[in-house]
Every structure is written in C-alpha cells, then in structure tokens.
Structure 1
Amino acid sequence: MPVARRPRPLVATLTTATVSIGLLVLAVRVGWLGADVGRGGNFCEAARAGWVKQPANALSNLGFVVAGLAVAWRARFPERLGDTLPRFPGLTTGYACLVVLLGPASAAMHATQSSLGGLLDMTSMYLVASFAAAYAVTRWRRRDSTFFWQVFVLLVAACELTGLSDRQIPVVHSTGNAAFGLLLVAAVVVETMLWRRGRARVDLRYGAAALTSMLVAFAIWTLSQHGWCDPDSLLQGHAAWHLLDAVAAYLLFRLYASERITAGRRIDA
C-alpha cells in the first residue's frame, strides 16, 4: 500500500522560501533596507564594494532554507511525525517556514550591514528560540496549540523589548543575543525534564547532535571574533556558525518527530 503524503507543508515552505528570497534580492538591489551603517561588521568578513557586502556570511544562510525545506519534505509523511507533533495542527509547517525565514532575515544584515537588516536578523533569532522554548513548556504543561501560541508570542515580545537595550553583555555582546541564548538554554532544560519524567520518549541522539552542533557553532562564533579571522577570505567562521545552526534546527525537528508516548500512558494524563 503506498504511503500517504501531504503536499501542503512542502508547498507552504517552498512558497515562503521563494517569496522571502525574492523580496530580499529586490530589497538589497533597490536599497529598501537602508544605508550601510556597519551592522554585523564585527563578524570578521570585510565589506565588499558590490551590492552584497559580506558574501560568505550572507550566502551561508542558504543553509537555513535547505534545513526548512528538509523539515517540510519529511512532514509530507504523517507517520514520520511521532505521536506528539500531530496534536498541534500546522505546527510542523510553521516550524519549517520559520527555519526558512532565518536565512533571508540573517542575510539581510550581512548583505547590507543596515540597521533594518540587523533588526530582521535579531527577530528571526528570537522566533526560533521562542519556538523551541514555547514548545517545550507546552508539552511540559500538557497544554494545547492555543497555549503554545500564547507563550510563543509573549516570548518573542519579551525578546524584542529586551533587545531595545544598548547594554553590552560579556561574551555575547548584546542583550538581544543574551535573550536568544537564555531561551535556548531554557528549552534544553525543559526538554531534559520531559525526558526524565518519562511520559514520552524521544531519540536522544537527535537532541545530543543538535546541542553539539549549537555548541560547536557558538565556539566558532566566539573564536572568529577574537583572532581567528581573515577578513578577505570567503572561508568565514561566522558562515560556519550559520551552517551549523541550520543543521541544529533540522536535528531539533527530528528530535520532536521522534517523540513517542510511553506504552500505557496518555500524553494528557
């Protein structure tokens, strides 16, 4: 018997990728994002004279587009989504589209070094970290989609407000980066609590691989700003940060999709 497929996640994600990349190319070419103010200039790569200021750091964001499309491709098969994700209609498609948007949003900053591009970059980071934290908390509390979206919106709003501060934070530089990191840490903590509670089981290999990818990415992100840097090279540490984070985003989805309800237990018990 052929496996049933759902084309909607892939169609929605492909549409998101096409429209967002198209808008980015047009915005960069026409100058909609504003003047070059050096935003993102601290990530080693020297600004070029062309219309894409940091080509390596900008183009490496295609990794997020590929990761989001990979999520959507797998989401065509409902039986590959585990026991929990199907309880949240549209969440997998939403996550796939969100991961795709990380690419053009981050590339907006590196291509233009503009203030608006920097804002788009930070907002995309808030979105993915808020998703991870909200989904973990929702499952911990055994709540529904409405609760997830409420927590998600509140967390994004809190990040945006926190990011308005110009206070410098050691290591991570800005309050916005600190908020992003804290949400990811919170997501890891709650995911660990969920696993220890034992009402559902996940394939921890995906969680460990996602966490390892993020930690290696953060190490490279740090080193590339403190001496491990060749401004004129197309091999950039910050580009590696993008690619490793894209891998982590896909592995996080695989962790979610591996969740199975423990025999004899109900998820809402």
Structure 2
Amino acid sequence: MPVARYPGPVVATLTTAMVSIGLLVLAVRFGWLGADVGRGANFCEAARGGWVKQPANALSNLGFVVAGLAVAWRTRLPQCLGDTLPRFPGLATGYACLVVLLGPASAAMHATQSSLGGLLDMTSMYLVASFAAAYAVTRWRSRDSTFFWLAFLLLVAACELIGLWDREIPVVHSAGNATFGLLLVVAVVVETTMWRGGRARADLRYGAAALASMLVAFAIWNLSQHSWCDPDSFVQGHAAWHLLDAVAAYLLFRLYASERAVARQGIFP
C-alpha cells in the first residue's frame, strides 16, 4: 500500500523560510531595522564591521530554519503525526513555520544590534514558549483548537506586556527572558502531569532529550557571557545555545507526534 504524502506543510514552511530570510537580508542591507544600539552585545561576540555585526550568533540561527523544515518534512506524512496532532488541523504545519521564524527573528538582533531586532528576537521566543504552554494546557483540559489559539494569543500578549518591564533580573537579565522560561516550565509540568496520570502515551525519550538539550543550552548561555566569553572568536557559546535550542524544538515536535491517546480516559474532544 502506498504511503500517503501531502506536500502542503513543506510548501508552507519553505515559503515561510524563503520570505522571512529574504526580508531579513533586505532589512540588514538597507538598515530597515534601525541603528545599532548595542542590543544583544551582552552575548559576548564583539560587533564587527560590515552588514552582520555578530556573524557567529546570527548565522547559527539557521539551525531553526533546518529544524522547522525537518518538522514540515515529517508533517507531510499523516501517519507520522500520532493520534493527537491530527485533532488540531494545521497545528503541526503552524509549528513548523513558527520554528523557522525563530531563525530570522533572532538573527535580526545579532546581525544589527538594533532595538527593533531585539524586539523581533524576544517576540519569537514568546511565540514558541506560548505554543508549548498553550498546547500542553489545551490537551490537559481536553479542549479544542479554538481554546488553543485563544490561550496562545493571550500568552503571547501577556509576554509582550511583561517584557516592557525594564528591571534587571539576576541570571536571566530581563522580565521577558524570565517569562519565556516560566512558560517552558509550565509546559514541562503539565506534560509530565498528563503522562504520569496515564492520560496519554508518548515516546518520552524525545521529551527527555528535548529537556536535556534546553538545560545544556541554558548552562552554555550563562557561561558564554562570563568565564567562556571570547569576544573575537568565531566559536561562540551563544551560537551553541541557538543550535541546541533548534534541536530541542525538533525533539519537542517528535514528542508531540509520538503521542497516542488512551481512549478509555476520554480526554480529547
């Protein structure tokens, strides 16, 4: 029997990648994002001359583009999406496009060190953390796509508002970073609660690997701003943070796609 394949997710995600990267290149070339105000300069890499201020930190964001395309490549095969994702039409493709957008959005800050670039970087972080938290809560509460999108949009809006608070916070620096981390903790706690309660079956190796990748990335994120910092090196710890986060984003999708509902629990609408 032939395996069903649908090109839509790949087309949508590839289009998102091409358009977003193209717009970023134009924005960097023509200064659309504004002047260099040193945004992101605290991530060690010294600003260089030319178009791209922090080449290692900027180019490493291509990892998100690759991860998003990898998600889309699997999404084109409905039989690889498990029992739960198909209950939310378009969600897997939306996640693939979102992961792709993390790349150009983060690169916008590192390439220009502009204020608007920094805003794009933070917004992309809010998007992925809000997705993880909203999707976890939606399944936990046995709700539908409408609930997911409302929760997702409300969380993103809340992150944007909290991110306006400009006080320095130990370790994570800003309220925006703290909110990003808090939403990921919420997602982990809710996912763990569901699995331990026997409400769904999934390949937890993907979840463990995604969490491990994020924790290692966070450790490198901190060390690379202090003891591991070498501003003139093209090997940057913050670039490793990007790459490990891209791996975690892909592994998170594999976790979602491995999920099989426990029908007797009746937890899904």
TM-score, length basis structure 1? 0.99
Give distance in 1, aligned partners of 2:44 and 2:168: 19
Instruction: Give 1:239's aligned amino acid.
Output: A
Letter of the structure 1 residue corresponding to residue 136 of structure 2: A
Deviation string 1:59-93 (CA, Å, 9 cap, x unpaired) is: 00000000000000000100100000000000000
| 1:79-134 deviation per Cα after TM superposition (whole angstroms, max 9, x unaligned) | 10000000000000000000000000000000000000000000000000000000
Equivalent positions of 1:111-260 (< 5 A) are 111-260=111-260
In the alignment, which residue of structure 2 is the partner of 1:15? 15
Q: In structure 2, what is the Cα distance between the partners aligned to 1:170 and 1:244?
A: 23
**Contact 2:58 2:107 survives alignment (8 Å):** yes
Structure 1 runs, 4 residues or longer, greater than 4 Å off: none
User: Shift of the alpha carbon at 1:267?
Assistant: 3.6
Q: How far apart are residue 263 of structure 1 and its match?
A: 5.6
Q: 1:38: which partner in 2?
A: 38
What SS class does the counterpart of residue 173 from structure 1 fall into? coil
Letter of the aligned partner of 1:56 in structure 2? A
Name the counterpart of 1:110: 110
Paired letter, 1:149: W
Contact 2:14 2:69 in 1 (8 A): yes
The aligned residue for residue 62 of structure 2 is: 62
Q: Which residue type is aligned with residue 156 of structure 1?
A: V
Moved more, 109-118 or 199-208: 199-208
Q: Which residue of 2 aligns with 1:26?
A: 26
Compute the displacement of 1:262 (Å): 2.4
Deviation larger for 226-235 or 236-245: 226-235
- Percent of aligned pairs with the same residue? 86
Question: Take 1:42 and 1:168, find their aligned partners in 2: how far apart are those partners?
Answer: 13
Q: Which residue of 2 aligns with 1:79?
A: 79
User: Match of 1:211, as an amino acid?
Assistant: L
How many residues matched?
Answer: 269
Q: Which amino acid aligns with 2:134?
A: A
Q: Residues of 1 paired with 2:9 and 2:197: CA distance?
A: 31
Give the whole-Å Cα distance in 2 for the aligned partners of 1:27 and 1:122: 18
**TM-score, scaled to structure 2:** 0.99
Give the secondary structure class of the aligned counterpart of 1:209: helix
* 5+ residue gaps, structure 2: none
Name the CA distance, whole Å, in 1 between partners of 2:107 and 2:21. Answer: 10
**Counterparts of 1:51 and 1:199, CA distance in 2:** 51
Q: Distance in 2 between matches of 1:235 and 1:35?
A: 26
Q: In the TM superposition, what is the alpha-carbon distance from 1:227 to its structure 2 partner?
A: 1.9
